[in-house]
Amino acid sequence: MNSDFQEAFEEKCPHIQPVFDHFHIIKNFNDKVVAEVRKDEQRRLQAMGEYKAAESLKRTRYILMSSRETLQRKDREAAEGKPLSKGGTLFQRAEITRRPGSEEKYDQLIQENQLLFTVDLVKEMLSEAYKAASEPEMAGLITEVMEVC
């Protein structure tokens, strides 16, 4: 839920407390933090003349937004030759297969860049907080996230 919608909702329905689910928290974090940090880092590296490092961040948005489990699954599918997109004769489209190496690229990115490592750590901490068995446990984990930030 974006902040404008939340404000309008709370104004019209002050007796209802909004609930933020795992998917939307992670999605917002990915959209507003991961993507922006990646772009800012790319600009910073270019400004410092580190063109090779800046170039290495191109086309990495979805790798940085993905969990390790997702990257491992995608690499397995690539190894199995599973198509990413089936071809078709109607529009003369060739079949597209997934490229391997997503997890390796992910590891390289977070190993080479401290800021991306920290962003990834916070993303994983948020995800773990939503797996907590109780409200106090979740509150403690969210507090840890805020301390890292």
- pLDDT tens string, the chain, 149 residues long: the values are 567 788 888 888 889 888 888 898 899 999 999 999 999 999 999 999 999 999 999 999 999 999 999 999 999 999 998 887 787 777 888 877 888 999 999 999 999 999 999 999 999 999 999 899 999 999 999 999 999 88
CB neighbours (10 Å) of residue 37? Answer: 17
pLDDT at residue 64 in the model: 95
Does residue 61 fall inside a structural domain?
yes
Domain that holds residue 135: 20-148
Please report whether residue 6 resides in a domain: no
In total, how many domains does the chain have? Answer: 1
CB 127 within 8 A of CB 141: no
- Asked if residue 9 belongs to a domain, the reply is no
- Are 112 and 104 spatial neighbours (Cβ–Cβ below 8 Å)? no
To the question of pTM greater than 0.85 for the whole model, the response is no
Q: Is residue 1 one of the residues assigned to a domain?
A: no
106 part of a folded domain: yes
Q: Is 81 helix (H, G, I), strand (E, B) or coil?
A: coil
